[in-house]
Chains A and B, each alone.
Chain A
Amino acid sequence: MVVATVLRAVFGYCFLILMVRVVGRRPGAQLTPFEFVLVFYLGGLTLTGVVADEISLTNAITQIVTIALCHYTLTWLRTRSPRIARLLDGTPLILLERGRWRTDTLSGMKVQDDDVMASARVQGVKSLEEIDTAVLERNGEISILKAQK
């Protein structure tokens, strides 16, 4: 059943995209070792269901091509429509602005003040007062703009 395997591959791709998107980005552009394992765990479990018992080379190639096509379509759509891009990548969010925290953004994104401070330290900022604006970027990085003296 070629149709079934192709459908499974499409489902697996879309499901993982949704999953990764709603599980949420943790601050930090780099994945921590545990997030690596988690991504692998999620991917591998989906993979088990997508491949199921059809472990032929033909099936592998069919499904890889399907997933590649899905991805290609999605990246193409992303460049075509800013709305889809926003849906897939989210939007940058301000965490701290001119000495005031955006509390709903902090709780919504599950970011804490020490996450912001950790990013600030990497840039050599010593305390929270020195931060003018902190932005949670789409890739999960927190960028810090220093206050001008």
Chain B
Amino acid sequence: MATEPMTNPVEDTVAKVDGYVAVGEDLEFQRRWWRFERVVWTVFVLILVCDLLGLLGRGYLAKAQSKTSDQSVTMDYERIERTNTPSIITVNFGPGAIHGGEVRLFVSGSVVKELGAQRVVPQPKTSEIGDGGVTYTFEANRLPATVDIALSPSLPGIHHFTLGVPGSEMVQAKVTVLP
């Protein structure tokens, strides 16, 4: 048995202009939409300005420097990072850091894990694990001496890390990783 198709009478449901052309214009809604559009574009411009300044990473305001009070370590890093985007932590050693032709550098485990340390330049002579991090040893005799740690953060979020010469003061830093 075939059932009848469901039907509904055709009514004048689309709004008319001057009662003669069915347009269904909703000017009130459009005015509100224009206001909304303006807000959206303002927000967009603000985002771009933040990005240009570096508030979203990779710019002037993202760069940060932190040093220990005894000047054994000065570190340049970016306080705002982006996921999977390469960046570099530069560690400058001060005069108090070199002992017997070597310099030792401790980095906390979060540098390797959350911040995704890719490689350490130059190649450390030895690396040793312990104290919740890695201690690298480099051969060094004269200043200035610099070590670069290439990062590629894997997890968005706020991460803390510590870095320094074992036995002396450590530098602590907070890095915000954006998605």
**Distance A135 CA – B21 CA, assembled complex (angstroms):** 10
B17 touches A91 (CB 8 A): no
Q: Does B68 contact A (CB under 8 A)?
A: no
Query: Given A8-B179, A52-B83, A53-B84, A91–B29 Cβ distance below 8 Å?
Result: yes
Contact with B along A2-37 (1 / 0, CB 8 A): 001000100000000010001010000000000000
Q: Does A111 contact B (CB under 8 A)?
A: no
Give which listed residue, B23, B26, B34, contacts A108 with CB less than 8 A: B34
Query: Given A22-B40, A52-B84, A108–B17 Cβ distance below 8 Å?
Result: no
Give which listed residue, B18, B24, B40, B84, contacts A92 with CB less than 8 A: B24
- Can you name the residue of chain B whose Cβ is closest to the Cβ of A97? B17
Q: Does A93 contact B (CB under 8 A)?
A: yes
Give which listed residue, B18, B27, B41, contacts A93 with CB less than 8 A: B27
Q: Does A118 contact B (CB under 8 A)?
A: no
Contact with A along B27-56 (1 / 0, CB 8 A): 101100110010011000000000000000
Give which listed residue, A22, A52, A91, contacts B26 with CB less than 8 A: A91
Which A residues are CB-close (under 8 A) to B40? 18, 22
B30 touches A105 (CB 8 A): yes
Q: Does A125 contact B (CB under 8 A)?
A: no
**Distance A141 CA – B140 CA, assembled complex (angstroms):** 72
Which A residues are CB-close (under 8 A) to B84? 52-53
- Can you name the residue of chain A whose Cβ is closest to the Cβ of B26? A91
Q: Within the complex, what minimum Cβ distance (angstroms) separates B66 from chain A? A: 29
Q: Does B25 contact A (CB under 8 A)?
A: yes
Q: Within the complex, what minimum Cβ distance (angstroms) separates B44 from chain A? A: 8
Query: Given A52-B83, A53-B84, A133–B30 Cβ distance below 8 Å?
Result: no
Query: Given A22-B40, A97-B17, A108-B34, A92–B23 Cβ distance below 8 Å?
Result: yes
B25 touches A93 (CB 8 A): yes
Which A residues are CB-close (under 8 A) to B18? 97-98
A145 touches B21 (CB 8 A): yes
Q: Does A99 contact B (CB under 8 A)?
A: no
Which A residues are CB-close (under 8 A) to B26? 86, 91
- Can you name the residue of chain A whose Cβ is closest to the Cβ of B44? A22
Q: Does A90 contact B (CB under 8 A)?
A: yes
Q: Within the complex, what minimum Cβ distance (angstroms) separates A140 from chain B? A: 14
Which A residues are CB-close (under 8 A) to B37? 22, 24
Contact with B along A107-149 (1 / 0, CB 8 A): 0100000000000000000000000010100000000010000
- Having A22-B41, A91-B26, A145-B21, one finds 13 other A-B pairs with CB under 8 Å, namely A90-B30, A91-B24, A91-B27, A92-B24, A93-B25, A93-B27, A93-B30, A94-B17, A105-B30, A108-B30, A108-B34, A133-B21, A135-B25
The interface of chain A, by Cβ under 8 A from chain B, is 4, 8, 18, 22, 24, 52-53, 86, 90-94, 97-98, 105, 108, 133, 135, 145
